[in-house]
Every structure is written in structure tokens, then in C-alpha cells.
Amino acid sequence: MTLTLLYVIYLIAITAEAMSGAIMGMRRGMDLFGISLLGTVTALGGGTARDVLLGHYPVGWIAHPEYLSFTIGAAIVTAFIARQMHHLRKLFLIVDGLGLVAFTVIGCDVAMGMEAHPSIVVLAGVITGIFGGLLRDILCNEVPMVLRRELYATVALFTGVLYVSLLWLGIDIQIASLAALVSGFLLRMLAIRFGWRLPQYDSENIRGLD
């Protein structure tokens, strides 16, 4: 049951991520092809980075090309309705938060299936959760937001650590993944609501080493 739920959340999430990527591409003056590619990279880049780093072939969207119709379709729809989409901003943040925790749990599952070390399992979850946004920002010539912003990457880390810990304690995998999804999602919503963030650094006072 949880697997089906995860899968549905996953499809909704890649659609939402593709839309966020497409909007960012439109704001950089990209054409329809660029928007589709940027949307796809945003949605599927995390899972792709995880699979390439783990040597887990075939990569997700090569085994399931139907994912590409979701992301490309979402990007093209976005090109037509983008002017209206800021009305959906709150809905988007909710779906994006759901996607973040779903990506993380799915990433942990892939690494566990390869019998990786627990720390690698958590990291595979985090990479799945955040690398899509990271690649999107690199393509848009930005210092990646996930490295700077409120508890985004930290939510992925929290979700992964909680999930792996619950499994290690012998909790049933369905309950563990549900608990991780719900807790991670709540943390993300609270972080947005109250503007929580990790400490950042006063860059003026720090001299480089080169």
C-alpha cells in the first residue's frame, strides 16, 4: 500500500518539480526545448545522479521512459499557463515538500536494495532529494539554492536518518516509510512557515586560502 502511495506521490512530485524547473527556464529566456530539458533535469536529476553514483543501471527514466512524458508534458503546459501559476504558489510548496520527502525515501530504498552501508543509504536519499534542484540552478548559472536556503537539504537528511534508524530498530518498512514521510514533510512545512534555517556565515570576514 505504501509503495503505491509512494509511487503516486512520486508522479505528482516529478510533475511539480518539472513545472518549477520550467518556470525558472522561462525566466532565463530559454526556448520550449530548454524549458522541457530544464524541467526534466529538475524532476529526474536527483534520481539520475544517485543511480550513476551507485552504478545502479538502468537509470530510472531509462527503465521507465513514461516518466519523461510527465516531465516534458508538465513543462509544456507550464509554458502556456505560467502567468497564472503564482496563484498556485502555496499548493506548489506543499507538493514540492511532499516530493522532497518521497524522493528521499525512494533514494534510500534504492541504496538499501544494493546493500549499501547505512550512511550511504541516507546519502543516496539526500542526493535523490536535492540534486535535481542543484542541477537546475547550475544550468541557470546560480549558486544552488539548496546549499543556502532554509531547511531544504536538512529535511532530506532528517527524513533519511529517521527512515534508516526506524528500520534499524526493526520497525516494519511500511510504517517506517510512512513515519519518515510524515515527519519530514511536517518539518519542511514548519521550516517554511517559521523561516527556520541553518546558520549561515558572514562572508565578509572570511579570507580564502588560495
Nearest to 21 by CA among 96, 107, 98, 101: 96
Residue (11 or 149) nearer to a second copy, CB = 149
Residue (86 or 193) nearer to a second copy, CB = 86
Q: How far is the CB of 47 from a second copy (least distance, A)?
A: 12
Residue (13 or 146) nearer to a second copy, CB = 146
The C-alpha cell 524549458 sits at 35
Burial class (CB in 10 A: 0-12, 13-18, 19+), 12: middle
Q: How far is the CB of 116 from a second copy (least distance, A)?
A: 7
Q: How far is the CB of 144 from a second copy (least distance, A)?
A: 6
Residue (4 or 205) nearer to a second copy, CB = 205
Question: In the 8-state DSSP scheme, what is residue 143?
Answer: -
Question: In the 8-state DSSP scheme, what is residue 109?
Answer: H
DSSP 3-state of 108 = helix
Residue (6 or 70) nearer to a second copy, CB = 70
The C-alpha cell 545522479 sits at 49
Q: How far is the CB of 193 from a second copy (least distance, A)?
A: 15
Burial class (CB in 10 A: 0-12, 13-18, 19+), 78: buried
- How many beta carbons lie within 10 A of that of residue 113, not counting itself? 11
Question: In the 8-state DSSP scheme, what is residue 106?
Answer: H
Q: How far is the CB of 13 from a second copy (least distance, A)?
A: 14
